[in-house]
Amino acid sequence: MEEVAAVEARRPFRLRCSVQNYDWGMIGEESTVGRLFARNSEQMIEAGKPYAELWMGTHESGPSFVDLGLAEGERLALKSLVEENPSLLGENVVKRWGKDLPFLFKVLSVAKALSIQAHPDKELAKLLHKTQPKLYKDANHKPEMAIALSEFKALCGFVSVKELKDVLTHVPEILELVGKENASKVMNIQELDGNEVVKDSLQSIFTTLMTASKEVISEALKKLSCRLGIEQKFLGWNGYKHEKDKNE
């Protein structure tokens, strides 16, 4: 196998890629990922099955294989190819990232909102992979870049401090949820405050919000829904009254 890889290393290869069937993926034929995977793998698309992500890379949770015309059981992993032929990556890449592909290329077909993700920095990623390899499959920190192939909406990072202050001022349910002490930290942020002050305030309020129990969240949502319902009825009645006054 190593001899085959070395001899073939200088020509373009066809990759056999992996697919991830996460629940949020587009279903069956509607999924671009599903159609791409079907063409790549020569498998039929399963109706009713979500096809969320097509992976092209060396990640162990969805590795790509090099098509050398071998029997199915003798596929050559892309990871093995680049490890045995690091010159394929180029000298600069090997010096900086080692004998492995330094990125994971994905195509996504999204039907539902994805879960919130928080990626560690490089040093923490190394530590987590070393201490908990079953949970953290690699030592990379996963900076991401997205290119929209169709109309797409994504949220990244936090709202501005000004927007967050507006929420804490006008949404009492959120204020109650995060607590007055955490809210005060945010409300007291000044334009000249450094990043550490802002980071500490955001961390406190975010941690409190994300670690709140389901019961506490449900109660806050009930209060919010009730208040918005009352306000909507009032605005509707007020609009009707205004229109009636105009006609009289």
Q: What is the pLDDT of residues 180-224, one digit of tens each?
A: 999 999 999 988 788 888 889 899 999 999 899 999 999 999 999
- Say if residue 237 is in the same domain as residue 170: yes
Give the per-residue pLDDT at 157.
75
- Say if residue 11 is in the same domain as residue 111: yes
Give the per-residue pLDDT at 109.
96
Longest dimension (CA), the chain: 93
Rg, C-alpha atoms of the chain:
26
Q: What is the pLDDT of residues 63-97, one digit of tens each?
A: 999 987 766 667 889 999 999 989 889 999 999 98
- Say if residue 237 is in the same domain as residue 176: yes
- Say if residue 181 is in the same domain as residue 98: no
Residue 17 lies in a domain: yes
Residue 173 lies in a domain: yes
Global pTM?
A: 0.67
Residue 197 lies in a domain: yes
- Say if residue 102 is in the same domain as residue 178: no
Residue 137 lies in a domain: no
What is the residue range of 177's domain?
A: 161-247
By percentage, how much of the chain surpasses pLDDT 70? 89
Complete DSSP assignment for 73-94: GGPEEHHHHHHH-GGGT-HHHH
Q: What is the pLDDT of residues 149-178, one digit of tens each?
A: 888 887 777 788 899 999 999 999 999 999
Long-range contacts of 193-201 (CB under 8 A, 24+ apart): 198/161
User: Which residue matches tokens 């949020």?
Assistant: 24
Count of domains in the chain? 2
